[in-house]
Structure 1
Amino acid sequence: MSYDIEHALSAAREAAAAAAEIIRHYWNRGVAVEWKADATPVTVADREAEQVIRAVLARALPQVAIFGEEYGLEGARDGLLWLVDPLDGTKSFVRRTPFFSTQIALMDRGELVLGVSSAPVYGETMWARHGAGAWLDGERVNVAATDSLTQASLSIGNVKTLTADARWGALGALIRDSSRIRGYGDFCHYHLLARGGLDLVIESDVNILDVAALAVIVREAGGVFTDIEGQPPGLETTSVLAGVPAIHARALERLRDIRSG
């Protein structure tokens, strides 16, 4: 299926901007919270933001399938596929904490080729497409050149599953050997990584809709983005190890050593 990647990126940015208007409206007004079957919250802001994103994307590229957090899959998964999380970080949103975002990515036969990460209340939008670099509000960004773990800044997200895993000890060792540990979470630590403010991000409880766009952004900023096993992101991804090349390599080696032992 042929498509113009610049046109697709423009559509994704337009869709994210339209969702931002809805999200800001409900942020200022406040919303009631409902609970899904998996015990995660959802609001009218999530649903309306996804509806407007779907409308913009379908108008721009009607032939492309869409897989969204709130309304599921429309079309086939094996060709061109939009991946949409209209409000990633709903728990933060409903608790009046500005660490939430809209995530839109395009996957072409299993490969992530573009991504937009819009954090309307936080005040940042990042985007990237294959081969064209990563951008923050119109300015090109790059990961840091850190090559020593003792100088590295780490950030961890939701690592519940690692607490019952042999790699929990390896994570503790990475923290001890690094310069600084933080826990920014959600989009925020990936934005920081892509623009040189962090050197490694570790999460163990995610889904692809949370991180697909961010994977493209980190990669195009010069970083490495895999799961904790070192595999590239795909539809079944549930963990992240993302970082500047040298620090990612050291972290992956340590985690693999523990796993194999």
Structure 2
Amino acid sequence: MKAETAALALAAAREAAAAAAEVILHYWKRGVDVEIKGDATPVTIADREAEQAIRKLLRAALPEAAIYGEEYGLDGARDGLLWLVDPLDGTKSFVRRTPFFSTQIALMDRGELVLGVSSAPVYGETMWASAGGGAWFEGERVRVADTFDMKQASLSIGNVKTLTGDARWAALGALIRDSNRIRGYGDFCHYHLLARGSLDLVIESDVNILDVAALAAIVREAGGTFTDLAGQPPTLETTSVLAGTVAIHRQALRRLAV
């Protein structure tokens, strides 16, 4: 991707995230009705209107790119420029009045993540990154910590329901015992903390690529490693996450390979 196109795309993604934030905050203040989708997950008017606002701005800025969104599916081909959009990641938190939800916008270029924007309007954080341009938090460039010893590492786990029935569950328990501390920040929050150097490892076994694509771009540009639990880079089929500082990720991947 040309530099000018990349700059245009990042500006559009940030503008789209800000537009989604306006929609989300509007409904956060007044409350919404909740519907249950076919996959048994909740959806609200805030999800749908936020995605509509995002799509409008992304199409105007980069009309040649396809868009794959949580609420309205795929518009265009998957093999070129492809926007990945989750307008309200954490709808369950949103409807229960918990501020741990966000807007996630990423761009893939022929399967490679090239930028990401993660906006948590009620929590008050926005992070973004572009390939080769670093990771940024509210205008300040951020980096992961330089933690290399598991005994000093802070871990956070998110959605790990399927992992409880996996052979790796015992390995995760041993990893936790050998770490400095364990938390469960979840959603966007633990990835933001990782990219800012406040956390050293994130583990999740039940995610969708739309949940984590932007966060993967951010963590990578912050100097971290972001793969699935098998050590593979993110793809449209990704369903798990192992993200951390380079050294801690390497140790965790080895120990979870059972």
Query: Is the structural similarity TM-score above 0.5?
Result: yes
| 1:47, distance to aligned residue in structure 2 (A) | 0.1
Give the distance between the partners of 1:99 and 1:124, measured in 2 at CA. Answer: 11
5 Å-filtered alignment, 1:127-206, equals 127-206=128-207
Q: Provide the TM-score with structure 2 as the length reference.
A: 0.99
Give the distance between the partners of 1:38 and 1:90, measured in 2 at CA. Answer: 14
Match of 2:214 in 1: 213
For 1:222, what is the secondary structure of its paired residue? coil
Give the distance between the partners of 1:6 and 1:252, measured in 2 at CA. Answer: 34
Match of 2:254 in 1: 253
Match of 2:115 in 1: 114
Give the distance between the partners of 1:61 and 1:248, measured in 2 at CA. Answer: 35
For 1:32, what is the secondary structure of its paired residue? coil
| 1:214, distance to aligned residue in structure 2 (A) | 0.1
For 1:98, what is the secondary structure of its paired residue? coil
Give the distance between the partners of 2:80 and 2:155, measured in 1 at CA. Answer: 35
For 2:156, what is the secondary structure of its paired residue? strand
Unaligned runs of 5+ in 2: none
Match of 1:238 in 2: 239
| 1:146, distance to aligned residue in structure 2 (A) | 0.5
| 1:251, distance to aligned residue in structure 2 (A) | 0.1
Give the distance between the partners of 2:183 and 2:49, measured in 1 at CA. Answer: 33
Unaligned runs of 5+ in 1: none
For 1:251, what is the secondary structure of its paired residue? helix
For 2:67, what is the secondary structure of its paired residue? strand
| 1:168, distance to aligned residue in structure 2 (A) | 0.3
Match of 1:10 in 2: 11
| 1:17, distance to aligned residue in structure 2 (A) | 0.3
Match of 1:88 in 2: 89
| 1:41, distance to aligned residue in structure 2 (A) | 0.3
After TM superposition, the runs of 4+ consecutive aligned structure 1 residues lying more than 4 A away are none
| 1:151, distance to aligned residue in structure 2 (A) | 0.4
Match of 1:77 in 2: 78
After superposition, what is the alpha-carbon deviation per residue over 1:198-220, rounded to whole angstroms, capped at 9, x for unaligned?
00000000010000000000000
Give the distance between the partners of 2:144 and 2:28, measured in 1 at CA. Answer: 31
| 1:97 matches 2:98 | yes
| 1:164, distance to aligned residue in structure 2 (A) | 0.7
Give the distance between the partners of 1:165 and 1:97, measured in 2 at CA. Answer: 30
| 1:235, distance to aligned residue in structure 2 (A) | 0.2
Match of 1:228 in 2: 229
| 1:64, distance to aligned residue in structure 2 (A) | 0.5
| 1:43 matches 2:44 | yes
Q: Provide the TM-score with structure 1 as the length reference.
A: 0.97
For 2:26, what is the secondary structure of its paired residue? helix
